[in-house]
Amino acid sequence: MNPSLSRLDKEQKRLIMIGGKGGVGKTTCASAIALHFSLQGKRTLIISSDPTPSLSDIFEMEIGDQETAIKDAPNLYGIEISSEVVLKKWKERFGPEIFEIVSSFASLDYDFVDYIGGAPGIEEEYMLNYILELVEGGQYDLVVWDTAPAGHTLRLLHLPQIFLKHLEAATKFYMNLYSYFEKLKDTVKLRKGKRSLLEIISGWEDLAEKVVRFIRDPQKSEFIIVTIPEALGVKQTERIVQDFDDYQLKVNHLIVNYVVREADCEFHKQRREMQQNYIKILQDQYSGRIQLTEIPLSPREIKGVERIKKISDILFG
């Protein structure tokens, strides 16, 4: 029997993240999982941060970067968020504070914020904040996040930690500056009524910590990895699970997609044999720790609510 994801029915997860390497069926699984919960009456948002819009394809309608009701699926909403939009949101959220900090000791244009916003990793860093805002905004019971392919997701998970490290260094730096200004108080007048630099920075720190706490909270967040029964899939899964372990994030479910069930020709018989070999390896590797749920290879691509529903039924048994 194919173990199912039905455990999740009894839990009240707020965020489900779907990860895995490119092309393994992440968007398909994320859509099927989101559809499943929306049909249970949960207001569900599926969010794709893939640079190439994919939800529009699978749901056969234009979705884009605004929360959009999915046709033929009550309670289900979708959004495809591009890095430009995330960067814009980052600027709206942090721009004024960064400017406040910098302009208190240097005379600079607001353009400076654009300059900082151009630093690599900013948008990924903000993505998690943005998702948390959506989760906590109260508009949705559940957010399902179809992440961009491969290592990208893991980089995202590392970021709050890296961010905190940066902040630590930055805080020390500003402390020094601050005491310097304190000493010069009489000669250099800091504008009145402003929050201290440390107050602003500790606000950022709180935010980064909140994100880390949330994604580590097994009551609220769930990570599901999608893979394929091939050597590459086994290797990549190993790496992802290891990385998650390092960050104290637990993976409970692994979806093995494109499994050949019936083989009525030599070609498919060989493929099935090859796949079964890797499924066995995955089972041995994770037995008792991570549950494996298989999705059979379908003769057709998975498009439209009706076919996605079939995948939901397979996943939730």
Ligand X SMILES: Nc1ncnc2c1ncn2[C@@H]1O[C@H](COP(=O)(O)OP(=O)(O)OP(=O)(O)O)[C@@H](O)[C@H]1O
Q: Which is nearer to Mg ion, 54 or 257 (CB)?
A: 54
With binding defined as CB under 5 A, does residue 28 bind Mg ion?
Answer: no
Of the candidate spans 3-11, 26-34, 91-99, 169-177, the one that interacts with ligand X by CB under 6 A turns out to be 26-34
- Residues with Cβ within 8 Å of 224's Cβ and at least 6 positions away in sequence, in order, are 5, 16, 17, 18, 19, 29, 33, 251, 252, 253, 254, 255
Residue type, 105: F
Residue 196 is inside which H or E element, if any? none
Element (DSSP H or E) covering residue 265: none
**What distance in Å separates the CA atoms of residue 307 and residue 314, rounded to the nearest whole number?**
11
Q: How far is CA 70 from the centre of its chain?
A: 20
Q: Among 16, 17, 19, 27, which residue interacts with ligand X (rule: CB under 6 A)?
A: 27
**Least distance to ligand X from the beta carbon of 297, Å?**
5
Q: Which residue is at the shortest CB distance from Mg ion?
A: 27
Among residues 27, 31, 75, 227, the one that binds Mg ion under rule CB under 5 A: 27
Q: In what order do the strands lie in the sheet with 44-48?
A: 68-69, 76-80, 44-48, 142-146, 15-19, 221-227, 251-259, 291-296
Q: How far apart are CA 35 and CA 55, in angstroms?
A: 12
Nearer to ligand X, 49 or 68 (CB): 49
Virtual torsion, Cα 255, 74, 60, 47, nearest 10 deg? -50
Q: Does residue 45 touch ligand X according to CB under 6 A?
A: no
| Footprint of Mg ion on 32-71 (CB under 5 A) | 50, 54
Longest dimension (CA), the chain: 87
Q: How many CB atoms lie within 10 A of CB 177?
A: 14
Identify what 28 binds: ligand X, Mg ion, none; CB under 5 to 8 Å per kind.
ligand X
Which of these, 80, 41, 86, 81, lies nearest to 59 by C-alpha position? 80
Tell me if 50 contacts ligand X by CB under 6 A: yes
Residue 147 near Mg ion by CB under 5 A: no
Select 83 or 103, whichever has its Cβ closest to ligand X. 83
From the list 7, 9, 22, 165, which residue makes contact with ligand X (rule: CB under 6 A)?
Answer: 22
Q: Interface with ligand X includes 149 (CB under 6 A)? A: yes
- Answer yes or no whether residue 80 interacts with ligand X by CB under 6 A: no
Torsion sign across C-alpha atoms 190, 193, 196, 200 = negative
Which range in 18-26, 118-126, 203-211, 217-225 contacts ligand X by CB under 6 A?
Answer: 18-26
Residue 19's binding partner out of Mg ion, ligand X, none, with CB under 5 to 8 Å set by partner kind: none
Q: Is 301 in the site for ligand X (CB under 6 A)?
A: yes
Of 160-219, binders to ligand X (CB under 6 A) are none
CA distance 95 to 112: 9
258 lines the binding site for ligand X (CB under 6 A): yes
Q: Which stretch binds ligand X (CB under 6 A): 132-140, 175-183, 239-247, 298-306?
A: 298-306
240 binds ligand X (CB under 6 A): no
Q: Give the footprint of Mg ion on this chain (CB under 5 A).
A: 26-27, 50, 54
Q: Return residues touching ligand X (CB under 6 A).
A: 22-28, 50, 54, 149, 257-258, 295, 297-298, 301-302
